[in-house]
Amino acid sequence: MISERAKSLPEYPTQVINARVLELRAKGEDIISFGKGETNFDIPEVSKDAVRKAIEDKFFGYTLVGGIPELTEAIIHKFKRDNEIDYNKENIIAATGAQQILYQAFQVLLNPGDEVILPQPCWNGYPGQIALSGGVPVYCDILSDYKLTAERIRPLITSKTKAIVFNSPNNPTGAMIEKEELQKIADLAIERNLFIIADEVYEFFVYDGAKHTSIASLNEEIKNRAIIVNGVSKTYGMTGWRLGYCGAPAPIIQAMKRVQDRITSNPSSLSQKAAIAALYQENSWIQKLAGEFEKKRDLIYKMILEIPGMKLPEEMKGAFYAYPEISSFYNEDIKNSADFCSRILEEAKVALVPGIGFGSGNHIRFAYTTSPEDLKRGMERLQNYLKT
């Protein structure tokens, strides 16, 4: 009854863990969750005001498939101000979340059998979306140090390779691709006639004085091969509003709009108004927020390394994740990261995500998006449990 295509898709481990967290909390359990990659700060007041006004104005109807003109202009403004990329309206699309943007990018780029190179570990949505689009994921192993490099990518390129996908800062590792290495990846893509799909949703969550660089800003040649994906979920805390956007060459954008017209049509009209207000804001408050996340990064990194047996190659440079290796805890009852996380949730009341969904059965993912108080409390629980 169910198609082989649908049956081939595993459940997201994040969703499995989060569902169990809700069950336990419904029973009165005090669960501290490091599961969801969802920030805990409030959305901008200007976005709330924009939605209230849109409701008063009865702005409820269908809009253009790729977003209203005012949103397109706001996205163009954002790319110019924050990323030093000049786009025209023909280069912009908005959709129901960055996840939809990514799926549509694979849909319009890939023919059956086309290969897409992506780092391993990586966000668990990419491989399934590539497969659903008829493509073949080809993994670049970066588990030793979490660094995606042109040198590691080059041997994986074949006559079937169509694109390279990455996000920097990275989910689940928190690693960043430095500008010098980004240029080498861009040069390789130009040399081998490949597209780049760059997922930049964590661009403002960078630490230690680092600065995010968008690959499309390096030169016009790579800009004409780059699909830059972003959204309002992470930066503005608007996860449930489902508003993603993209800058890319005009033919790709037009094809994405044709696909979107058959799937969801326009993104939410109210979310578009909220996004416009958010995107025109100055970034000083976001930078202050990133400073608060840097403090949480420092705390969780220190406390992870205090647990004998947990290993991290280096301090995380961005996003809000840590991805330690935990195989030293395996025994007859705990054979992989899923077993480990299940035991920790049921007995220590701390929710973690198994690394298997991101490409490694020997790792787990922490999302340090909770309050500093709960972060410290949860890590102390974990430390005490693992000591006994």
Residues making up the chain, counted from first to last? 388
Q: Which of 214, 209, 210 is nearest to 167 (CA)?
A: 214
219 φ, ψ to 5°? -170, 170
CATH pick for 45-279 out of 3.40.640.10, 3.40.1190.20, 3.40.50.800, 3.30.70.1060: 3.40.640.10
- Domain locations in the chain? 4-42+284-387, 45-279
Residue type, 220: E
120 φ, ψ to 5°? -130, 115
Q: Which residues 6+ apart lie within 8 Å of 193 measured at CB?
A: none
Residue 359 CA to residue 380 CA, distance in Å, equals 27
Q: Can you point out the beta strands (E) in 223-291? A: 226-231, 244-247
What totals of helices (H) and strands (E) does the chain contain, helices first?
14, 12
Residue 237 carries which DSSP code? S
Per-residue model confidence (pLDDT) at position 20: 86
Residue 278 carries which DSSP code? H
Q: What is the pTM of this model?
A: 0.95
Rounded to the nearest 10 degrees, what angle do helices 45-56 and 269-279 cross at?
Answer: 140
- Residue 89, exposed/middle/buried by CB under 10 A (0-12, 13-18, 19+)? middle
CA 125 → CA 110, 207, 265, 325, 358, distances in Å? 16, 25, 21, 21, 9
Q: Are 146 and 313 in contact (CB under 8 A)?
A: yes
Residue 357 CA to residue 125 CA, distance in Å, equals 9
Q: Which residues 6+ apart lie within 8 Å of 167 measured at CB?
A: 122, 123, 198, 199, 200, 201, 202
CATH class of the domain whose range is 4-42+284-387? alpha beta
| Opening angle at CA 345, ends 311 and 22, nearest 5 | 130
Residue 170 CA to residue 377 CA, distance in Å, equals 26
What is the full per-residue pLDDT of the chain (388 aa) written as tens digits? 888 888 887 777 777 778 888 898 899 999 999 988 888 788 999 999 999 999 999 999 999 999 999 999 999 999 999 999 999 999 999 999 999 999 999 999 999 999 999 999 999 899 999 999 999 999 999 999 999 999 999 999 999 999 999 999 999 999 999 999 999 999 999 999 999 999 999 999 999 999 999 999 999 999 999 999 999 999 999 999 999 999 999 999 999 999 999 999 999 999 999 999 999 988 888 888 899 999 999 999 999 999 999 999 877 899 999 999 999 999 998 999 999 999 999 999 999 999 988 988 899 999 999 999 999 999 999 999 998 7
Per-residue model confidence (pLDDT) at position 382: 95
Count of CA atoms in the C-beta half-sphere (13 A) of 41: 17
Residue 280 CA to residue 291 CA, distance in Å, equals 21
Residue 203 CA to residue 100 CA, distance in Å, equals 19
What is the pairing mode between strands 195-199 and 226-231? parallel
